Structure 1
């Protein structure tokens, strides 16, 4: 016991005696764990913000009532019920709001919505407070929330345009109000409740308050018993259900962020392991002396593991604090964008405990192999005056690594040649990718021996003897060189693979959209959000000078033989509907039958095969879940990006249930586009696009997605850069005597800085080059098996690859700044004496 206590004291004193080593090792742990802690806190904060909003919205609601038809008769019966005080229609209409000149107000991260207004004495829940003007009357007046009115310069008495998917109104602002729940940059309008229902129909839900002396539970029971067509639940229960649904939806965000946190921690793992390996090598004499004084192998090993555990706990705890700072920064940015997230930082037991435990475990695992090597040090090593040997032979690990590389690459190639479900093949490629990465890690020291010195000679050629010396140094410890480079390899491989996927998606989307859309112009509503193209778009386009042909592509709740174009569950089956012969607007590659049809339906080859459909045969058609007869299959076409699975001719589908997706236009005249833009200006939300414009918007959305992924992967690359800094700095400490000797024989400080910088550049380029090769191979395999979902031609992002290779050289230079400066300041006589 006494010996163990002594070793612990030695470990603690050693940690405190080498503060630079401690800081460098802590940094890798902090970066990985901070992202994981921040992920938990961010989603907790999001969840608490939504919970607060939901709780406020239902805080004074005694019961929420649902039913198949909440018509005026039902509402009147409830209003006259002696156990009910007030009844409110609960309905929100997403709209676009513009000034009288049809210039839309841009709400950025917010939204624009229209709701029914009730005076305070009739309101269920917290009433809105009118701060200026008067309550709205009839369908021609609305009130606007005060914060949005100030932002957009809306005043009482102004005329504004409200665009709904089904119609458009010009209304007057009768007043400004302060909502009971603030919603950031949202633009909120309220219209007199009877007028609102007159324009937008029966509400989706009713909220009611209990009469005096009636509890919410009694009210719920009373409604359920008295009105068998209705279903009532307490406001508290509804709030909980909504909060639970939001929490469930946010789990994906949490998993997504944690995945990148784990990538960062994985990259950090190699740096931690590398750091401990170097520290163990530097402390060989120290361990040998301890062995000579009676310390056992187990005690030495446990002492290093003990140090790792302390560093893991401290680094992880600092990572949690850094995570809090990360969340605070994100919230400040979102607040600046008009998306307030409340005051909660999202601290929870899991957000603190999980990162600390995970960071500590990873640090201890990373230090285990170096700790065992420390325990294996012989007492005689205390008499060595030269640097310890580079380590055990590389033969066994290289053979294992090459075998894993071959297995992983073979599995990835085999998947591209196999038939099977995309999900299963993608999983197998993922297994192959893991084998390639692990195999490369094991084989990379041997590979670095043949590549890094050569790179060093090329890079160092302009620098003469200093360049040759840097090249020689880079091969002295291949394990260290390879492990340092591997952190960057992993980050670059991920960026390359994702960049390749993004480039292929953009190329594929552009090619298919431009080839599938044969219409001169496409008219559509906003491509983001949940706002369809206005219903009157097709008629407005048809009345435009120069237009010769118009095709409306809509979406409706319709099924053929129980199948639909888009199936989101039993209650959400949607199909494409066309109102005219689509072949002049959309290019169909027909396998059988004809695309010239004005009744019946078309289906893609795989969809028809899956359902056993044959051209010329008829199948049952249902609209809104109700059978309406049979419909004939007119043709089968190859899948395209405009129409998924199938499309139905509109004569069989009532116009009232169709939601316009896009409108295709053919016409004549050089001013056709200008005429169309003028015609749809009053519709506010409609955009006029060519097929190239349409493809460009799709590419822009892909770019946004890639920007998020690159931003998250940047953390892994930053950690890799810090790993190079770490290795170089520890290398400078280890080679202090050697650097002192170089200074003593006349090497200038500038030459020492150049030598260290060239070593760093060589390591960085080796890591980046390896990452690019691995990323290209895995990216090709994944994209090839995704060919069935539209990714047909592999596109290599050469510009991104060139930027990364050039950037890796810059990474090496930046990473070497501090270590090279430290090396150059080495006092020659002191270093030689040490």
Structure 2
């Protein structure tokens, strides 16, 4: 009993010692906690943000289906649009009180010559129904009158307020069919008015004739008679449609539709969730090195304290437990603060989204159990794992070391660490090269090999980095320290004293820079491939193109307008049709593997279409194919090939046949095959494709040749296409630049997220320098005593930080470019066959890393300069 009591007393004493140590070193505690906070805040924020988004969209789904008892839509298997006559059948069905056509047409709107931006929210036109006839969320006029005829619309109040639209204002509305001039007759309010969307409503008959094909609909919404349940109405409507011989429809209750919308949203948001959490984990991994470095320095600085405790009878296990206990406290505090910061981060994201005009309805920050528990567990676990090795070193301190001073870890051998690292590095390089060279094993398998190689290279680099730092860091120090003479030499010497610490501090930055370099190389190569592709396939004088992000096609009327311009000799349009030939989709840069490209006019206007057999003229009915696609599919000139629909989410359905007119040399712009517009138009007239933007042919670009000076031709085209709002007049090189816009958008998101890893790395440098200043208090005091000025001390600490930053950046760049090259070689089989190195970005990263070193040293340098000489020496 006495032994157990003594052990309990000793444990209690050690807990008090640990807590007092943490409380007595508040700066050190804050710096260590921050490393945990950043990683956990990002993970917690990601979970809260996606939970909040899910709740927001669930609320929207519930609101948009409120008052809708049954929906009737095309069967997913066929995807064939519904004839308008079905609306009359539904209106006569038992239990149906009201029927609304729920078709919506995607549009672009201009007001006072300015295209209205929605920040990613939809802009659409749909049918207006008077209050008593509405199905779904109620719309109430707050100003003006209901729309009448095909030149009047009403606008939702949030769009009217944001874009300063008033009753009587003229709007220009563009859809895939052309341009429409309308007048605002009224402003309406709706329960779900939020998110930056623009909702135009037009009298039903006018809407159907203006914005649809006038024959089909994409769905109907039904309200039940009083006392009729949703299930009962669904059963009655299903029976009535079957009795009328109507096939290819899907009947659902309003609740089913709402649930399916919510499920689809949750599935879409899961990707965002995984994506954000991945970067939170990167931040935690980077933070691991900082936390491990911090605890290593703390243990080194407290060697005499630990030795004294050992001499007083504290066991090795108790010391290890004490340090681990400190890590648990740091982890818990950091994770709790991280969760709170995650909530703030989520609120900030919503605020930023709102500032873009795409604000979402404010349902508040949704905190789930997972968004709190997950970061708590990860934060504590990472901190404890990081502190475990230093804690064991603390437990191994012998009582005799109370008589020593300094960090003994710097004197330990690097041989075992370096040999292990070299082996991992070699294995990683071999695995990566195997992925690059074995091009017969499939892209997926090769990517896995390169991924395993990347892991080996990163781990090997971390272990070898300490040995590399011995010659490299002083060399960097001598170069950047040369202008500062003796201070530069002192900084060069100091940074090489503890290569383990230098390497660990630098590796946090190395990891962040390596990731940035990989993505930068990927982006540069993608843009180079796109530019090269367009340069090799497009040589027309000018190109008419839609918005830079490719989100909206150009109106077909733009082709006729361009043909009427004086000086234009030929115009051809290239688009995407929801059809396949014999079940085969095209792989052009426009179609991206879905549907097939079509041409209005002669494809040779692009300038780079080389005939092989037959004719590539597409002014009549038929299609042309690349030589390789024709051979692969066994197509011969004159052969009739089945023409199938490829409506999104629907099974293919044969709607006719087309003949092969000719073949051409492989062309990335045209892809496998191109159909003539004359072959598609009859099926549009027959209502085979429907009214939705993504279920009908879309014109993406028009290629224009002229016989007048290019500047004059461009000015004339801009004058006539200005009315179409969305049409840009570009040179081929500018057209290539627009194709790369999505690459920049993707990379900007990645860079913003990777900046978190760099921020954590900067924190690590600050942390190391601050603790280093504490450790070197006597040394700095001695320098001050022999005449070193405060400014010289500040410069010395700053130069040390810059050396560490530059070393980490250079290693990160080398590793990142090597891994980027390996991944790009694997992706060459997927069409990314151009490898480009963003040298400007590489140089920029190194320069910025030097600046990071200066900024990171600001506070520790000032702290070092203020060291009292006599007090420091007395310590």
TM bucket normalised to smaller:
over 0.9
Q: Secondary structure at the match of 1:207?
A: strand
Q: Decide which of 431, 438, 455 is 1:434's aligned counterpart.
A: 455
Name the residue aligned to 2:4: none
Measured after TM superposition, the shift of residue 449 of structure 1 is 0.3
Instruction: Provide the C-alpha distance between the structure 1 equivalents of 2:320 and 2:84, rounded to a whole number of angstroms.
Output: 80
Tell me whether 783-792 or 350-359 shows the greater mean CA deviation: 783-792
Tell me whether 616-625 or 8-17 shows the greater mean CA deviation: 616-625
Q: Does 1:759 align with 2:770?
A: no
Show CA shifts across 1:130-159 (max 9, x none): 111111122222111233223333332233
Q: Decide which of 214, 236, 247 is 2:266's aligned counterpart.
A: 247
Name the residue aligned to 2:576: 555
Instruction: Provide the C-alpha distance between the structure 2 equivalents of 1:397 and 1:606, rounded to a whole number of angstroms.
Output: 54
Q: Does 1:274 align with 2:262?
A: no
Name the residue aligned to 1:713: 754
Instruction: Provide the C-alpha distance between the structure 2 equivalents of 1:627 and 1:165, rounded to a whole number of angstroms.
Output: 22
Q: Is the 8 A contact 1:600 1:634 kept in 2?
A: no
Instruction: Provide the C-alpha distance between the structure 2 equivalents of 1:17 and 1:707, rounded to a whole number of angstroms.
Output: 42
Instruction: Provide the C-alpha distance between the structure 2 equivalents of 1:682 and 1:457, rounded to a whole number of angstroms.
Output: 64
Name the residue aligned to 2:473: 452
- TM-score, with length taken from structure 1: 0.95
Tell me whether 421-430 or 485-494 shows the greater mean CA deviation: 421-430
Q: Decide which of 556, 576, 597 is 2:597's aligned counterpart.
A: 576
Measured after TM superposition, the shift of residue 529 of structure 1 is 5.9
Q: Is the 8 A contact 1:269 1:363 kept in 2?
A: yes
Measured after TM superposition, the shift of residue 607 of structure 1 is 4.9
Instruction: Provide the C-alpha distance between the structure 2 equivalents of 1:364 and 1:439, rounded to a whole number of angstroms.
Output: 23
Q: Is the 8 A contact 1:601 1:635 kept in 2?
A: no
Instruction: Provide the C-alpha distance between the structure 1 equivalents of 2:90 and 2:852, rounded to a whole number of angstroms.
Output: 71
Name the residue aligned to 1:833: 874
Q: Secondary structure at the match of 1:189?
A: strand
Q: Decide which of 387, 391, 399 is 2:419's aligned counterpart.
A: 399
Name the residue aligned to 2:152: 141
Instruction: Provide the C-alpha distance between the structure 2 equivalents of 1:631 and 1:8, rounded to a whole number of angstroms.
Output: 85
Name the residue aligned to 2:703: 664
Q: Decide which of 165, 186, 193 is 1:154's aligned counterpart.
A: 165
Q: Does 1:652 align with 2:697?
A: no
Q: Secondary structure at the match of 1:227?
A: helix
Instruction: Provide the C-alpha distance between the structure 1 equivalents of 2:525 and 2:851, rounded to a whole number of angstroms.
Output: 28
Show CA shifts across 1:447-500 (max 9, x none): 000111111122222222222222111111110010001111111111122112
Show CA shifts across 1:545-601 (max 9, x none): 212112121222322222111699xxx9511112333233142467x5467343654
Q: Decide which of 832, 839, 842 is 1:798's aligned counterpart.
A: 839
Instruction: Provide the C-alpha distance between the structure 1 equivalents of 2:834 and 2:240, rounded to a whole number of angstroms.
Output: 63
Q: Is the 8 A contact 1:119 1:127 kept in 2?
A: no
Instruction: Provide the C-alpha distance between the structure 2 equivalents of 1:109 and 1:650, rounded to a whole number of angstroms.
Output: 31
Q: Secondary structure at the match of 1:410?
A: helix
Q: Is the 8 A contact 2:118 2:358 kept in 1?
A: no
Name the residue aligned to 1:503: 524
Instruction: Provide the C-alpha distance between the structure 1 equivalents of 2:84 and 2:501, rounded to a whole number of angstroms.
Output: 78
Show CA shifts across 1:404-452 (max 9, x none): 2222223323333331323322222121111111000000000000111
Measured after TM superposition, the shift of residue 72 of structure 1 is 4.2
Aligned residues: 827
Q: Is the 8 A contact 2:28 2:771 kept in 1?
A: yes
Name the residue aligned to 1:65: 72
Structure 1's 573 and 388: CA in aligned 2 closer, same or farther, altered over 3 A? closer
Q: Secondary structure at the match of 1:696?
A: helix
Name the residue aligned to 2:431: 411
Instruction: Provide the C-alpha distance between the structure 2 equivalents of 1:469 and 1:484, rounded to a whole number of angstroms.
Output: 19
Q: Decide which of 340, 343, 351 is 1:324's aligned counterpart.
A: 343
Instruction: Provide the C-alpha distance between the structure 1 equivalents of 2:405 and 2:455, rounded to a whole number of angstroms.
Output: 42
Q: Does 1:727 align with 2:768?
A: yes
Structure 1's 130 and 401: CA in aligned 2 closer, same or farther, altered over 3 A? same
Q: Decide which of 72, 78, 88 is 1:76's aligned counterpart.
A: 88
Measured after TM superposition, the shift of residue 96 of structure 1 is 1.7
Measured after TM superposition, the shift of residue 4 of structure 1 is 2.7
Tell me whether 441-450 or 155-164 shows the greater mean CA deviation: 155-164
Structure 1's 98 and 825: CA in aligned 2 closer, same or farther, altered over 3 A? closer
Measured after TM superposition, the shift of residue 54 of structure 1 is 1.2
Tell me whether 148-157 or 181-190 shows the greater mean CA deviation: 148-157
**Residues 330-479 of structure 1: matches in 2 within 5 Å?**
330-341=349-360, 342-390=362-410, 392-420=412-440, 421-479=442-500
Q: Is the 8 A contact 2:89 2:241 kept in 1?
A: no
**Residues 671-820 of structure 1: matches in 2 within 5 Å?**
671-820=712-861
Name the residue aligned to 1:260: 279
Unaligned runs of 5+ in 2: 1-6, 75-79, 646-652, 685-695
Unaligned runs of 5+ in 1: none
Q: Is the 8 A contact 2:537 2:667 kept in 1?
A: no
Structure 1's 607 and 49: CA in aligned 2 closer, same or farther, altered over 3 A? farther
Q: Secondary structure at the match of 2:217?
A: coil
Q: Secondary structure at the match of 1:503?
A: helix
Instruction: Provide the C-alpha distance between the structure 2 equivalents of 1:245 and 1:20, rounded to a whole number of angstroms.
Output: 47
Q: Does 1:171 align with 2:182?
A: yes
Q: Is the 8 A contact 1:602 1:637 kept in 2?
A: no
Q: Secondary structure at the match of 2:470?
A: helix
Please report the RMSD computed on the Cα atoms of aligned residues, expressed in angstroms: 2.3
Name the residue aligned to 1:91: 103
Name the residue aligned to 2:648: none
Q: Is the 8 A contact 1:593 1:615 kept in 2?
A: no
Structure 1's 103 and 28: CA in aligned 2 closer, same or farther, altered over 3 A? closer
Name the residue aligned to 1:206: 220
Measured after TM superposition, the shift of residue 226 of structure 1 is 2.8
Q: Is the 8 A contact 2:279 2:754 kept in 1?
A: yes
Structure 1's 769 and 595: CA in aligned 2 closer, same or farther, altered over 3 A? farther
**Residues 630-645 of structure 1: matches in 2 within 5 Å?**
631-632=659-660, 634-635=662-663, 637-640=665-668, 642-645=669-672
Instruction: Provide the C-alpha distance between the structure 1 equivalents of 2:299 and 2:32, rounded to a whole number of angstroms.
Output: 13
Measured after TM superposition, the shift of residue 638 of structure 1 is 2.9
Q: Secondary structure at the match of 1:680?
A: helix
Q: Decide which of 8, 11, 17 is 2:15's aligned counterpart.
A: 8
Q: Is the 8 A contact 1:623 1:653 kept in 2?
A: no
Name the residue aligned to 1:49: 56
Name the residue aligned to 1:542: 563
Q: Is the 8 A contact 2:155 2:184 kept in 1?
A: yes
Tell me whether 790-799 or 366-375 shows the greater mean CA deviation: 790-799
Q: Is the 8 A contact 2:94 2:237 kept in 1?
A: no
Instruction: Provide the C-alpha distance between the structure 2 equivalents of 1:398 and 1:573, rounded to a whole number of angstroms.
Output: 51
Instruction: Provide the C-alpha distance between the structure 1 equivalents of 2:420 and 2:672, rounded to a whole number of angstroms.
Output: 47
